[in-house]
Amino acid sequence: MSQNRTIYLDHAATTPVDGRVLDKMLPYLKDIYGNPSSSHRSGQRASRALSWARNTVAEALGANPSEVVFTSCGTESDNLALRGVVFSRWARGKHIITSHIEHHAVENTCLQLAERFGYEITFLPVDRYGRVAPEQVREAIRPDTALISIMYANNEIGTVQPIADIGLIAREHDIPFHTDAVQAPGQLPLDVGALHVDLMSLSGHKFYAPKGVGVLYVREGLDLLPVQTGGKQEHGLRAGTQNVPYIVALAEGLSLAVDEREEEADRVRGLRDRLIDELVNSIDGCHLTGHPRRRLPNNASFVFEGVDGEAVQMHLSMAGIATSTGSACASGEDEPSHVLRALDMDPRLAQGSLRLSLGRATTEDDIERTIAKLSPIVEKLRDMSLF
């Protein structure tokens, strides 16, 4: 294997398009270009593809096709879930429960609802592993609570939340429950019945379909005010001509992710555990962030004492290894990410954060080479005491 091949360990940021997904979508970019709302033959072919995609996604989620809404990305799904629910029941209350470690798509939507629309937001704290306690959700519920939104698994530290328990509490109180499950496909079970969720966001490019297409699962009977108005597409919940090729790709990608999940998650977890054991044991001052067991099988996230995560990430990048950091300049901010800050860790320690997220193409050799490269980089940076 070429020594120059990039080792891509940033699958939590995005994944490459799987060849099988590309093959499935190409005819809809080339020949089958009709508008699925048109009644002529070309439109009807597109419409059949759209139905196939909707049925396929529904099956992957244990849902009905009428509960599947295609969107343009995970961020849009989160926005539609939050705004759609709270605006449809604004007369019943203006309180939202969420957590301190949500993706910006949820966090900043909540902040805007608070600042511009008078909503009150309870941001639940997390423990040092990044877990939300279901009992705290119960205690935060008020008569005017309109929505609970807690992510399934965190994109930075990989911690998996007790979604099914939170969902049961929400249901007891008859409050709609949304989960941002964008990191879950291919990693965790997705059955919306078992998870007790009313709304669930997914994004194609996190499971080997293209960027720019997403899904929102919306439980039958739940009222949702459309955020984007226009035509009657997507059961009237999301106007705009559907992006048929990308929707077909998303459905194929999701179905592969679900079918191959158990085997692939086991394989990746094995590699991931080797990476964690080796780094924590061989590098002084290297700590795992997130939950030791209840975490995404492909996520390894760390903090290193006395180094800047940004510098580690840059040196790895120069060595042909793509990773990411939740600290400092990555986001153009001077501070560690809001997720690391929520973990109650020394902010100086949080500056040394690094996330490695594995995927389908990750090999044992990738992991061994990453282990071999990382330790000298951390040592060198400490010697230079750039921090």
Ligand X SMILES: *Cc1c(COP(=O)(O)O)cnc(C)c1O
Tell me the closest approach of the beta carbon of residue 83 to ligand X, in angstroms: 15
Instruction: For residue 167, state whether it binds ligand X (rule: CB under 6 A).
Output: no
Of how many residues is the chain composed?
387
Using CB under 6 A, which of 132, 182, 316, 377 touches ligand X? 182
Tell me the closest approach of the beta carbon of residue 183 to ligand X, in angstroms: 5
Query: How many residues sit in the footprint of ligand X (CB under 6 A)?
Result: 14
Instruction: For residue 296, state whether it binds ligand X (rule: CB under 6 A).
Output: no
Instruction: For residue 214, state whether it binds ligand X (rule: CB under 6 A).
Output: yes
Binding mask 72-91 for ligand X (x = CB under 6 A): -xxx----------------
Q: Which of residues 121-160 bind ligand X (CB under 6 A)?
A: 151, 155
Query: Can you tell me whether residue 80 is helix, strand or coil?
Result: helix
Instruction: Spot the catalytic one: 73, 110, 286, 329.
Output: 329
DSSP 184-247: -TTTS---HHHHT-SEEEEEGGGTTS-SS-EEEEE-TT-----SS-SS-TGGGTS-S---HHHH
Instruction: For residue 109, state whether it binds ligand X (rule: CB under 6 A).
Output: no
**Residue matched to tokens 């990989």:** 158
Tell me the closest approach of the beta carbon of residue 192 to ligand X, in angstroms: 17
Q: Report yes or no: 279 and 286 within 8 Å, Cβ to Cβ.
A: yes
Q: Report yes or no: 146 and 175 within 8 Å, Cβ to Cβ.
A: yes
Q: Which of residues 308-337 bind ligand X (CB under 6 A)?
A: none
Instruction: For residue 105, state whether it binds ligand X (rule: CB under 6 A).
Output: yes
Q: Which is nearer to ligand X, 56 or 203 (CB)?
A: 203
DSSP 280-344: HHHSTTEEE-S-SSSB-TTEEEEEETTS-HHHHHHHHHHTTEE-B-SSGGGGT-SS--HHHHHTT
Question: What is the spatial distance between Cα 183 and Cα 356, in angstroms, rounded to a whole number?
Answer: 14
73 catalytically annotated: no
Query: Strand 7-8 and strand 321-322: pairing?
Result: parallel
Q: Which tokens belong to 245?
A: 């090729």
Residue 256's nearest CA partner among 64, 72, 17, 68 is 17
Instruction: For residue 206, state whether it binds ligand X (rule: CB under 6 A).
Output: yes
Instruction: For residue 203, state whether it binds ligand X (rule: CB under 6 A).
Output: yes
Q: Which is nearer to ligand X, 113 or 213 (CB)?
A: 213
Tell me the closest approach of the beta carbon of residue 116 to ligand X, in angstroms: 21
Phi then psi dihedrals of residue 73, to 5 deg: 180, 175
Residue nearest to ligand X (CB): 74
**Residue matched to tokens 């940021």:** 13
**Region of 201-209, 226-234, 280-288, 342-350 interacting with ligand X (CB under 6 A):** 201-209
Instruction: For residue 180, state whether it binds ligand X (rule: CB under 6 A).
Output: yes
Active site residues: 329
Which residues in this chain contact ligand X in the complex, by CB under 6 A? 73-75, 103, 105, 151, 155, 180, 182-183, 203, 205-206, 214
